[in-house]
Amino acid sequence: MSDPVLTETASPDAPASGWQTIARVTPHLWPKDQPWVRRRVLLAMAFLLVSKVISVITPWFYKLAVDGLAGETAHDPARLVAFGAVGLVVAYGLARLGSVVFQELRDAVFVRVAQRALRRLALETFGHIHRLSMRYHISRRTGGLSRIIERGVKGVEFLLRFLLFSIGPLILELALVTLIFAFTFGWSYAAVVAGTITLYVWFTFAVTEWRVKIRQEMNDQDTDANQKAVDSLLNYETVKYFNAETREAARYDGAMRLYEAAAVKTGLSLSFLNIGQTLLITAGLVAVMVMAALGVQQGQLTVGDFVMVNAYMIQITMPLGFLGTVYREIRQALVDMGAMFGLLSQPAEVVDAPDAKPLAVKGGEITFDQVKFAYDPSREILKGVSFRVGPGQTLALVGHSGSGKSTVARLLFRFYDVTGGAIRIDGQDIRDVTQSSLHEAIGVVPQDTVLFNDTIRYNIGYGRDQASDAEIFAAARAARIHDFIESLPEGYDTIVGERGLKLSGGEKQRVGIARTILKNPPILILDEATSALDTQTERSIQESLREMGQGRSVITIAHRLSTIADADCILVMDRGQVSEQGRHEELLAQNGRYAAMWAQQRAEEETEAACDADEAQTGGAGDQGLAARG
């Protein structure tokens, strides 16, 4: 059995092959549980068949009309000739109209099927991305990921429309036209037409395969440029802080330069393809027309036959010319969809057990039993960590950066699975319960609260779906942010900007706290929840957090030791292990690592307080001097 931590990263996103991609799309066109979709597909195919039959017989009306006008009707069907030249011209017009009408009816019937398939695939991809673990998301760039999804979904739409209604119908039409040439004019005509089509298709496919590789290179450069642009814009403040606008522009331009080179290759190869296609199809057209002209001169064919040969050749020239575009786009759509389906094939690292049951929280006891974990097998982060948080108790984790504090919180929330030992809540191993019920039972206030680019009301209400305004307002009051929100011109309808950039760090943090208060979970994780707040605000928020923690099991990760002095138990983490544990007074009495950290922070606080007092005194004296001079 493979290591669960390595499962997801064992292989990169491997794009699905063309046939695998088509196999993934097909069930959406012929679902077993939705007969209305099947009926629409069958009706659309029927309209398609009628359209092609009408399209193939249309040149006959044109031929008969020409023969009627030229007085050459001896070999034409008497019933059709009886219509007269004008009647045949009208019939020709009606046939052309009928062909187009049935094509449009086909599209009108099928559009709902195509859009339904597109929506379901987009939803499947979106849901799967959310199921992938944090490890996957921190290793992938958002810009590149969004572009893969965007191109993949567009590829699905294109494939559904053109694979069914262009390639298949084109093959049918070409076969019918070739048979008409064979039985009407002779096999020599059919051989020229078939040879022209064969050479044209071979040339188109061969050059297109070459172009796909160039197009893939262009897509890769496009994705890279998009990643750099999104990354730079998300880090707008950092770019400004380091005066790096020119550097970022040069970095983006470097990616676009490579994209430009690939795009030029794509354009040149397209010109080569179009010239080659035109040469082949024109040669076939001229050859058949010369044969027909000779037949007219020798009295074997009528002028109407000559015109019909030309009409059929023009009729197949248009879809053949379209074949190059369609095949190119279908091939590219398969590449784009292959990348998306490769993403869908990426296994989720953390999954529910087959017999997983909902978590039943009775008291909220949390137990870490010899927990081991490593993001990378070569560097173990947690080395057999054990502790217990009793129902309604508060456990504080302290230690230097990199000691494993935040990892403990991520493992409890099951962003990752442990590599050794077990984590239990009220005696239930969290690997044996559903992730949804586990996440529902745990509230997290992270160190850096990230908000949606929506209203403050929406961001606080995100804590519990369908929460009323009164509940949202109550949560905001508990987080000491209601008055601030009310002071804004648009109040709770204020848009916070992307990632909440329109709010200060402290305001964002209080919105995050209000969101968690609204969720009202039995277990809380506070990951340096007040790190972005000033001292005065921190004290008021600490009071709110203390009230929120009443009757709940709380794990708090703290940098400022003064904020966790009243915790029921304090764990001092050091290099992935628990070096000390106990209450605040007990740890100070041990005179160990915690006592040293406490003494250091107290000294820093006293120094800061002394500096503040000096500044206040100096400022006061300065004011007095100004007053005296005044």
Cα dist from 221 to 169, 409, 621, whole Å: 35, 38, 63
Question: pLDDT at position 49, please?
Answer: 84
Question: pLDDT at position 628, please?
Answer: 42
Question: pLDDT at position 157, please?
Answer: 67
CB-based burial label for 422 (10 Å; 0-12, 13-18, 19+): middle
How far is Cα 367 from Cα 412, in angstroms, rounded to an integer? 10
Q: What is the DSSP letter of 398?
A: E
Question: pLDDT at position 619, please?
Answer: 55
Question: pLDDT at position 121, please?
Answer: 76
- Strands lying side by side in the sheet with 442-445: 442-445, 523-527, 553-557, 394-399, 569-574, 577-582
Question: pLDDT at position 5, please?
Answer: 35
How far is Cα 630 from Cα 94, in angstroms, rounded to an integer? 100
Question: pLDDT at position 412, please?
Answer: 92
Question: pLDDT at position 140, please?
Answer: 59
- Say what angle helices 303-344 and 187-234 make with each other, to 10 degrees: 30
**Within 10 Å of residue 344's Cβ, how many Cβ atoms?**
17
The Cβ-side half-sphere exposure at 603, using a 13 Å CA radius, reads 6
Comparing C-alpha atoms, which of 175, 202, 200, 169 is closest to residue 190? 175
Contact predicate 444/413, CB 8 Å = yes
Which CATH entry fits the domain spanning 366-590: 3.30.70.260, 3.30.530.20, 1.10.150.530, 3.40.50.300?
Answer: 3.40.50.300
- How distant is the alpha carbon of residue 312 from its chain centre? 46
How far is Cα 295 from Cα 302, in angstroms, rounded to an integer? 8
Backbone φ and ψ of 569, nearest 5°: -150, 140
Helix (H) or strand (E) holding 499: none
Q: What is the DSSP letter of 433?
A: B
Helix (H) or strand (E) holding 373: strand 366-373
How far is Cα 303 from Cα 583, in angstroms, rounded to an integer? 106
How far is Cα 297 from Cα 165, in angstroms, rounded to an integer? 40
Fold of 18-344: ABC transporter transmembrane region fold (1.20.1560)
Question: pLDDT at position 256, please?
Answer: 87
- Going by their DSSP bridges, the two strands 569-574 and 428-429 should be labelled as unpaired
Q: What is the DSSP letter of 71?
A: T
- Spell out the residues 6+ positions from residue 10 whose beta carbon is closer than 8 angstroms to its own: 2
Residues of the chain with pLDDT under 50: 1-12, 14, 17, 74, 78-79, 621-630
How far is Cα 4 from Cα 420, in angstroms, rounded to an integer? 11
Q: What is the DSSP letter of 417?
A: -
Comparing C-alpha atoms, which of 357, 450, 395 is closest to residue 569? 395
Question: Sign of the CA dihedral 264, 265, 268, 274?
Answer: negative
Cα radius of gyration (the chain): 36
- Spell out the residues 6+ positions from residue 251 whose beta carbon is closer than 8 angstroms to its own: 228, 232
Question: pLDDT at position 623, please?
Answer: 45
Q: Which residues pair with 368 in a beta bridge?
A: 387, 423
